[in-house]
Amino acid sequence: MVDFLNPDQRSTSEGQSYALFFALVNNDQVLFDKVLSWTRHNLCGGRPDLNLPAWLWGRDGSGAWRVLDANTASDGELWIAYALLEAGRLWSRPGFLKAGQQMLQLIRTQEVATLPGLGPMLLPGRTGFVDNGRWTLNPSYLPIQVLRRCANADPKGPWAAIAANSARVLRDSAPVGFAPDWTVWDGKTFNADPKRGNVGSYDAIRVYLWAGMLDAGEPLRARLLQDLSGPADLLAAQQTPAEKIDTARGVGTGALPVGFSAALLPYLSALGKPALLKAQAQRVPAATQPAAAALPYFERTLALFGQGWLENRYRFAADGRLLPAWRTPACAATT
């Protein structure tokens, strides 16, 4: 997966994780194997059993292709582990199950911390997110359905506790119903990130996407949707959510990207807002249209998630299992 908008033509662990997920949804084992092989060789140094993937690969100033930042990004790793676990289960490939469990162990030892006043939590990466009794967190790195599957695969691990604590992160960092891109826990309360402020934008949009795709049997679903009501409330008031939201005031700036509309489709469906859903769906080009191919990497990814879910190409079970249409034709009945 390449982001051509950046001059370094970067690939990220996040992008690789999404490519693996969509290959699985499309039942494409050949593509899955190719993406996984490249990721292991280039981002994990050829030793995925020992190394979490570096988050950033691209072309440096001299024109050489290499790891540009060796730090990790737990969102990509969590989705890679999830894709491996589910590929192993759905395709009956035990090597993938083992690899997924190995990655969970690496995440546990390198990126999970017990935060005072909160409990076990997934940090955004290996380094750079803890500073003198303050922990920087990213709410979009905490998809509940993925954490449920991790808990099933690693029942002695911290995943169930992280899922429960994630609900608090999502609730308390969104005081007026809008998730921030980043939030800082000081041991007692969540605060604005001192560098990034209260903005909710390209990271936070995924919070609504993940919440909207939760199974109806997920016990945290109803409260999460209530706590994240900001975008739906804006749309109901005939206002348009913006590219950037001040999450403390609910005020936005910038035109809403097409990919954001796609990300809101499962969310609006889950909230039972058919008119709002239809209006946002009309903004998103069909995957076969040239306008879809012209979308930037991240917006196109959001479109694949949102449209694919709306078209019943996949669902998530209450325990986090992936229910692809090629394996579960009636997957729409699970929501």
**pLDDT tens-digit series, residues 42-85:** 999 999 999 999 999 999 999 999 999 999 999 999 999 999 99
The residue annotated as part of the active site, out of 3, 33, 60, 75, is 75
- How does strand 112-115 pair with strand 119-122? antiparallel
**pLDDT tens-digit series, residues 107-156:** 999 999 999 999 999 999 999 999 999 999 999 999 999 999 999 999 99
The question of whether 49 is a catalytic residue gets the answer no
The residue annotated as part of the active site, out of 3, 14, 131, 319, is 14
Question: Does residue 193 sit in helix, strand or coil?
Answer: strand
Torsion of CA 128, 254, 262, 138, to 10 degrees: 20
**pLDDT tens-digit series, residues 167-225:** 999 999 999 999 999 999 999 999 999 999 999 999 999 999 999 999 999 999 999 99
**pLDDT tens-digit series, residues 254-266:** 999 999 999 999 9
Residue 175 CA to residue 173 CA, distance in Å, equals: 6
Handedness of CA 251, 255, 257, 258 (dihedral sign): positive
The question of whether 243 is a catalytic residue gets the answer no
